[in-house]
Amino acid sequence: MTAPLDRRVPVIVLGGFLGSGKTTLLKRLLERGDGPRTAVIINEFGEISLDHLLVSNVEGNSVVLKNGCVCCVIRTDLQSALRDLLDAKAVAGGRQFDRIVIETTGLADPGPIAQTLGTDPMLRRQTRLAGIVCTVDAMNGAHQIGAHEECLQQIAIADRIALTKTDLIEEDAVGSLTGMIAGINVRAGIFDLQGQMATGDDVEALFETDGTSEAAISWIRCAPALTARHANIENVLFETLQPVDWTAFAVWLSAFVHHYADDVLRIKGLLTVPGAAGPIVLDVVRNHIHPPRHLSDWPDDSRASRIVFIVRNIEVRALKLSLLDFLGHAPEIKQEFIPPALERAHPQTA
C-alpha cells in the first residue's frame, strides 16, 4: 500500500524575533525564481507597513495583514487571506502558486497560526502545515533567547532554524549559539545562511514542503536518547520497539495535550502501528494535534516508534512512565545521542 497523494497546498510559517531577518530571508527565497511558486502573507504590526515594500516581487499572490498580530488579534484576517488565495488559485486552475509562506510578526507565537490551519474546516481540507521556519539573529540571538520568552518559544516550536548575520560575528560565537539552540530544540535543522558554505539551495531547503520527504522527517535522526535542556524547556525522546496501539496512544495523547496545554510546545512522532503498511507521522503544535499522515515506507532500518516531546515544566520520567504504562509497553530502548543539527554547523573531527 502506498501513501495517498496529498494535494493540499503546503503552508510554511516563517517566524523569528524582531529584526532577525525574516523579510530578508523571504526576499532571498522569492528572488530565486526557479523553485516552487510562492504566495506570501506578510503580517506587520504597526501603523505603517514596511516589510512588504522590501519584498520587491511580492505583488500578485500576496497579502499584507496590518495592525495586529495574526497569532492573537487578527486571526480571522489570516483565515480570510488564506481563503482568498485559495479561491484565486482555484479560479486560475490551480496554476497560480505551489505553496504559501506566512511571515509573522517578530513577537508572534506560531502555535495559534498552525491551529488556524487545523481548525478552520475549509483550510483543513485545502492546506497543510508543511513546516515552521524560525530566523535567529546570530549577533543578538543569545541575549534575545535569555531575555524574551517569545524568542525562546519560536525556536522551540520550529522545524528549521535559519541563523542570520553570522558573517558579523566570530565562528566560536556561532558555535556557542548553535549549541544553545540545540539545547532548546535538538531536532530542528539549523541552517547558517551567511556561512561560507551557504548556497541558494539551503534557502530552498528551509522551505521544503514535501511532508514525506527525507528532509521532512530527518528529525528522527536527531532524536536524543538523552534529553537536551535549556532553561525549563526539555527535549524528550520516547522510543519503543513494540508496535503502538494507536487507539490507546491517541487517548493518552489527547488527555496529555489537554492537561498540559500551556507546557506542550511541539510533539513529533514516527509510529509503527499494527495493520498500517508504513509508519504514521504525528505532528502536534502547541495544543493542536494535526491529522496523522501515512508514509509508504520507513526512512531507515529501524522499526521502532519514536516520539520527540518538546515540553517545559514537565517531569520527564513521569511522562515516559505514564505513556509506557498506558500502552502496556516495556521500558524504552537506549541509543547514542548525536544531534545532527550540531554536526551540520560544526562537522565533528575525528
Partner 1 sequence: MCGACGVLQGGPEWLECAAIEGPRLAARQKRLRHVNRMLAATGTKVSESSGGMIVRSLTGATRVVDDLSHVWLAAAEIGRKTVDPLAPFRTVKRDRLQ
Which 3 state secondary structure label does DSSP give 283?
A: strand
Q: State in angstroms the smallest separation of the CB of 102 from partner 1.
A: 20
| C-beta neighbour count of 317 within 10 angstroms | 9
Residue type, 142: A
Which residues of the chain form contacts with partner 1 (CB under 8 A)?
118, 121, 124, 232, 246-248, 250-256, 258-260, 273-276, 280, 288-292, 294, 313-315, 317-319, 321-323, 325-326
Closer residue to partner 1 in complex, CB, 1/48: 1
Name residue 75's amino acid.
R
Minimum CB separation of residue 226 from partner 1 in Å reads 19
From CA 6, how far away is CA 195, in angstroms rounded? 35
Residue 245 beta carbon to partner 1: minimum distance, rounded to whole angstroms: 8
Residue closer to partner 1 (CB basis): 105 or 235:
235
- With contact defined as beta carbons under 8 Å apart, do 103 and 24 qualify? no
How far is the CA of 314 from the CAs of 134, 175, 251, in angstroms? 24, 28, 19
121/347 with CB nearer partner 1 = 121
Q: How far is the CB of 29 from partner 1 (least distance, A)?
A: 30
Distance in Å, CB of 294 to partner 1, minimum: 7
Q: Between residues 8 and 346, which has the closer beta carbon with respect to partner 1? A: 8
Minimal distance, residue 191 CB to partner 1, in Å: 31
**How many other CB atoms sit within 10 Å of the CB of residue 207?**
23
Question: In the structure grid, which three cell numbers stand for residue 277, read together?
Answer: 503498511
In contact, 91 and 2? CB cutoff 8 Å: no
Compare residues 54 and 251 and give the one whose CB is closer to partner 1. 251
Nearer residue to partner 1 within complex by CB, 53 or 251? 251
Cβ distance to partner 1 smaller for residue 15 or 278? 278
C-alpha distances (whole Å) from 61 to each of 38, 71, 81, 96, 130 are 8, 21, 11, 8, 19
CB of residue 276 to partner 1, shortest distance in Å: 5
Query: Would strands 62-65 and 38-43 be described as parallel, antiparallel, or unpaired?
Result: parallel
The order of strands in the sheet holding 280-285 is: 228-230, 233-240, 305-312, 264-271, 280-285, 288-294
